[in-house]
Amino acid sequence: MSRLEVRDLHVAYGKVRALRGVSMSVDPRHIVSIVGANGAGKSTLLKSIMGLLPVGAGEIRFGDLRLDGASAPDVIRAGVAISPEGRRLFPDMDVEENLALGAYQRSRGEAARTLESVYEWFPVLAERRRQRAGSLSGGQQQMVAIGRALMSSPKLLLLDEPSLGLSPLIVRDIVRIIRRIQEKGISVVLVEQNARLALRMSDRAYVMQTGVITMSGTGAELLDDVEVQRAYLGA
Ligand SMILES: Nc1ncnc2c1ncn2[C@@H]1O[C@H](COP(=O)(O)OP(=O)(O)OP(=O)(O)O)[C@@H](O)[C@H]1O
Ligand SMILES: [Mg+2]
């Protein structure tokens, strides 16, 4: 089982220092959430772990592997996958073609087997396998984005704003899916605007503010924290 460990991570976009010494970790089978306001650096952290942004300084370790400096394909092979903010589907491709993109590094046989298991997780996608992704509801599109990430059979799944723009009923489905992912033994990093939802399901959580972690604890501890309530829970 692999633990993710991020140590003193610095990432910049030109002169914009988006991450300024971020440290966090994710134990195997844990759900860990990152909460914070718009622009805090949450997506930057996930993209950096995924090998999608150059790391300025610091370390990212996953099990015995060093991921800082690794390419995105290397990170995927190490067992990490992302469902990105805004879902990033190809709207004119059908559901199955979008899912297949998540398995591009795997053999045909492995991809076919994983596709069947993704359809077991999301029966509604099996029914719509030939439907254009762009014609699906928001919740179904989110399922495709998560399903595509699962197609690489990750040990760690990074979820960036999975509930964004979805109705409360559909958000409940997404919560159930995230719990099932955890039950399968996959660790999850959850980035959510909906802090209450995220903290309720988290083993651990971090609060991020303009590129630094300002607080951490169990989900329950942060839910009980007066500062967190005032800033993020609308209390
Ligand atoms: N491609 C980019 N080029 C320049 N600056 C960027 C880029 N992407 C993000 N930033 C800046 O980096 C900082 C962190 O952005 P990031 O997208 O990581 O925040 P976030 O916490 O995910 O916000 P949100 O809740 O709005 O998704 C912000 O100041 C943002 O303006
Ligand atoms: Mg973001």
Give per-residue pLDDT as tens, 75-107: 999 999 999 999 999 999 999 999 999 998 888
Atom of ligand 1 nearest to the CA of 42: 21
Tell me the CA–centroid distance for residue 198 and ligand 2, in Å.
15
Give per-residue pLDDT as tens, 197-226: 999 999 999 999 999 999 999 999 999 999
| Ligand 1 neighbours (beta carbon < 6 A) | 13, 16, 18, 36, 38-44, 85
Other C-beta atoms lying within 10 Å of the C-beta of residue 10 = 16
Tell me the CA–centroid distance for residue 113 and ligand 2, in Å.
32
- Amino acid 50 reads M
Give per-residue pLDDT as tens, 158-204: 999 999 989 999 999 999 999 999 999 999 999 998 999 999 999 99
Ligand nearest the Cα atom of residue 84: 2
Ligand nearest the Cα atom of residue 232: 1
Substitution candidate for ligand 1 out of 24, 44, 85 with most atoms within 8 A of CB: 44
**Residue 68 scores a pLDDT above 80:** yes
Ligand nearest the Cα atom of residue 37: 1
Q: What is the pTM of this model?
A: 0.96
Which residue has the CA at smallest separation from atom 28 of ligand 1?
39
**What's the pLDDT score for residue 104?**
86
